[in-house]
Amino acid sequence: MTILLTMVAAFVAALLLTPLVKRLAIRLGAVDKPNHRKVHARIMPRMGGLAIYAAFVLGYVLLRPESEYAAAIMIGATIIVLTGLLDDFLEITAKAKMAGQLLAAGIVVFYGGLDIDFINLPFGGTIDFGYLSIPLTILWIIGITNAINLIDGLDGLAAGVSTIALITLAVMAGFMDNIFVVAVAAILAASCAGFLVFNFHPAKIFMGDTGSLFLGFMISVLALTGFKNVTVISLVIPIIILGVPISDTFFAIVRRIRMKQPISAPDKSHLHHCLLRAGFSHRQTVLIIYSFAALFGLAAILFSQATVWGAFLIIGIMLLVIELFVEIIGLAGQNYYPLLKLVKVKK
C-alpha cells in the first residue's frame, strides 16, 4: 500500500473512531470541566487522542514502514498514550505523568538506541556529547512532549499545529530520503486531520493528555530520527518547525521567573490567551497561530536550502520578529519591552 492510500485510510479511521471515543469518554466520565483557567464554558469529553492513536496504529500496520527505531518508538508511544489516558480518567499527579514520559523516552533511548551522539560544526570540527548524549536526548523528548501539551488550550489548536509540524517534518525527511519519517509523519498528520473535523471550533471533543502527550512524543522522536548526528544548522531545523510550542513554552518560563512564580505554575498568559485578550475571536486566534506554525514550517524548508550565512540570517530575522511580537502582545509578562524601549531611546 502506498503512503497516500495509507493516509486516506488513517484519515477515514479517525473520522469513524472519534465519535465512538466521544461516547466512550462520556460513559466513563473522562470529561473536562470548566474552571477559571480554561476557555470552554461547558463540560467536554476528552481523551480524543485515543482516536488519533488508533487511526495511526491502523495506518502503521497497513504500511509497515521499516526502521531500526520502529519497535522502540511504537512501545514508547503506547506508554505515553497509557499515561495520557490515566490522566484523562484520574487526573494523576505531575510526578506520575513525568514518570510515564521518562519511561517512554527511556525506551526510545536505551532500547531503541536513538540519541544525539555528536553534531558537525558549520565551519569544521565536531562536538561529541559523550555521556551527555542520553540526558540531552531525554530532555529534548520530554521538552517537546510538554510543549505540545501546553499549547492545547483552544479548540483545534494542538491538533492543527501538530499537523502542520508533521507535514513539514515529512517534507524535510523527503529531502533527506528518510522514508520511515516521511511515512510515519504523513500517517500521523492524516490521523490528526481526521480528528480535527470534530475538534475545530466549536469542538465536540478534546484530545486530552492522551492526544497532546502522544503527538508531542511522536514529533520529538521523529525530529530526532530525521536529524540526529548532523550539523548544527540541521539540528536547528526541528526547533524552527516547532517554533510555536517552543516559543510559547520558553516565554512561559521567562514570564514565571520574572513574576517570581514556580516554573510549573499554571496561568492564563500563554500565546492563545494573549491573542484572545487582544480582541481576537476563538477561531481567529487559532487561525493566527496556524499561520505562525505554517510560517515556521516554510522558514525551516528555506533554512535547509540556504548557505551557512543565509541560515544565520534567517535565524537572526526570526529571533527579531519573535521578540518584537512577544513584547507587543505581552507574552513574557507586563513591562517587558527591551527592544521596544531600545527603539524609543534611539528615536
Residue with cell 461547558: 42
| Radius of gyration in angstroms for the set of CA atoms belonging to the chain, rounded to a whole number | 20
Residue 155 labeled ligand binder: no
Write a three-state SS string for the chain. CCHHHHHHHHHHHHHHHHHHHHHHHHHHCCEECCCCCCCCCCCEECCCHHHHHHHHHHHHHHHCCCCCCHHHHHHHHHHHHHHHHHHHHHCCCHHHHHHHHHHHHHHHHHHCCCCCCEEECCCCCEEECHHHHHHHHHHHHHHHHHHHHHCCCCCCHHHHHHHHHHHHHHHHHHHCCCHHHHHHHHHHHHHHHHHHHHHCCCCCCCCHHHHHHHHHHHHHHHHHHHHCCCEHHHHHHHHHHCHHHHHHHHHHHHHHHHCCCCCCCCCCCCHHHHHHHCCCCHHHHHHHHHHHHHHHHHHHHHHHHCCHHHHHHHHHHHHHHHHHHHHHHCCCCCCCCHHHHHHHHHC
Residue 146 labeled ligand binder: no
Please state the residue numbers annotated as binding site for Mg(2+). 149, 209
Please state the residue numbers annotated as binding site. 149, 209
